[in-house]
Amino acid sequence: MPYAWPKDADFTTWELDVLDRHCPGCGRMMHICDHRYRHFHTLTGPVELVCKLNHCPDSTCSGHARTKSPELEVTIAQPKWAIGWDVFCWIGHRRFSRHWAISQIQSELFDGYGIKLSEDSLARYVRHYQVMLAARQEDPEALLRQYEAVDEIILSIDGLQPEKGHETLYVVRELTQKRVWFAEALISATADEVRRLIAQAKTWADRLGKPVALWLSDRQDAFVTGIAAEFPGVPHRYCQNHFLRDVAKPVLELDSHAKVQMRKKVRGLRKIEQAVLKRHEVETAGDPAQDDAQAAITATGGPAVPLPLEADPAGAVVLEYCAAVRGILNDDQGGPLQPPGLRMAEALDEVRESIQRNLDEKKGGSQRSNWAAWPVASTAAASKSRPNKRRSAATSRTSRRLRRPLIPQRGVARTARNSSRS
Ligand SMILES: [Zn+2]
């Protein structure tokens, strides 16, 4: 589909010549007979590419009727594309490495580079990218180069279900080079079908001329029998992540139980938040701007986003504590090595210590350690005490510090997710 350029598009002109201008028919120097004008986006702005087309001046030569395009044209943009390779790679990377949604890629391209593409054409580029990537992944010569210095290879097979209810995608990976060799969606994963994939892995390994030192998988029957049949004598080990997950099962069950108990105990966040907002409402009655903000809060059903309570810094701190605690209670990240309940307990401990520091500060440093009373204490602080300057300065400092450990540990979460797949 032709791309509709805006009238005020500011093109940079690039000119391209044919490099080898000898006629393929008779060897004479060819002449420029026409120009092809192309327009496409690059990350540095829209480009008008002028391709000088050549043909043989001898009308009796076979090189006369056929024009020759500049050799480098396809290295800048594929025919009929509205984007150059740089934009294409940018899109593919966002989609497949960072898993962005098409709509996110679309808005980011427009906001960051002024490149406007429809969702349809973006989806088409993404498909092109996928096909090219697959072709490159399976290119035997590229594979040979990558495995030149490798002595032996370690293979794994696993079934993944990208979306619940869909067919399972069987993935064969080579672990020394951390490379997906191939993947296939099997609607019925019979022993024969699975064995076919394992046989394909054998073909690949033979083609590389490298011995397979080890197979890793879970204990699905089809894997166990298929690998034994195709790779006799090659050790086959139960994947340690699966092993760890099974060993950790009773721990995770207890952890999950502890989490439920903690959630039962730490309650009443909404009540506290409503008390703060109510007091704020009374104090700012008659201020139309604040009324709007209040209405927005009511409409969304809860103070998910704390109000800018400049007039009530203590109330703002209480709201931040509530948001932080809610975040902790809703955080389900973690795996066998970082059980979510344990992380929750640690985070709640930090909140408790932080609140206690505030209380100590208020009392002039008195050592109070009545932990059990803390939710009551915070409610009381929110609804009764008037903030004084010294206290609010201290609490807002604390709340800023408080935020840090509450951000889910991304690295940890990712590791846990990945490991549960293999
Ligand atoms: Zn010629």
Kindly give the distance from the C-alpha atom of residue 17 to the centroid of ligand 1, in angstroms, as a whole number.
18
Query: What's the pLDDT score for residue 229?
Result: 94
DSSP letter for 22, please: B
Kindly give the distance from the C-alpha atom of residue 74 to the centroid of ligand 1, in angstroms, as a whole number.
24
Kindly give the distance from the C-alpha atom of residue 54 to the centroid of ligand 1, in angstroms, as a whole number.
11
**Cα 208 to Cα 155, 201, 202, distances in angstroms:** 13, 11, 10
Kindly give the distance from the C-alpha atom of residue 27 to the centroid of ligand 1, in angstroms, as a whole number.
6
Kindly give the distance from the C-alpha atom of residue 14 to the centroid of ligand 1, in angstroms, as a whole number.
28
Kindly give the distance from the C-alpha atom of residue 32 to the centroid of ligand 1, in angstroms, as a whole number.
13
Kindly give the distance from the C-alpha atom of residue 59 to the centroid of ligand 1, in angstroms, as a whole number.
8
Query: What's the pLDDT score for residue 62?
Result: 92
Query: What's the pLDDT score for residue 388?
Result: 42
- Taking only the tens of pLDDT, the chain with its 422 residues reads 578 898 888 999 999 999 999 999 999 999 999 999 999 999 999 999 999 999 999 999 999 999 999 999 999 999 999 999 999 999 999 998 888 999 999 999 999 999 999 999 999 999 999 889 888 877 888 888 889 999 999 999 998 876 667 778 899 999 999 888 988 888 777 889 999 999 999 999 999 999 999 999 988 899 999 999 999 999 999 877 777 878 888 888 899 899 999 999 888 888 998 888 888 777 766 555 544 444 444 444 444 444 555 677 888 888 889 999 998 988 877 777 788 899 999 999 999 999 999 888 877 654 444 444 444 434 333 333 444 444 444 444 444 444 444 444 443 333 333 434 33
Kindly give the distance from the C-alpha atom of residue 225 to the centroid of ligand 1, in angstroms, as a whole number.
64
Total number of residues shown for the chain: 422
Kindly give the distance from the C-alpha atom of residue 63 to the centroid of ligand 1, in angstroms, as a whole number.
5
The model carries a pTM of 0.47
For the beta sheet containing 168-174, the strands, ordered from the edge strand earlier in sequence to the opposite edge, are: 179-186, 168-174, 153-160, 212-217, 236-238
Paired tokens of 221: 């029957």
Kindly give the distance from the C-alpha atom of residue 28 to the centroid of ligand 1, in angstroms, as a whole number.
6
Kindly give the distance from the C-alpha atom of residue 80 to the centroid of ligand 1, in angstroms, as a whole number.
29
Instruction: Annotate 262-291 with b (16+ C-beta within 10 A) or e (fewer).
Output: eeeebeebeebbbbbbebbbeebeeeeebe
Kindly give the distance from the C-alpha atom of residue 15 to the centroid of ligand 1, in angstroms, as a whole number.
24
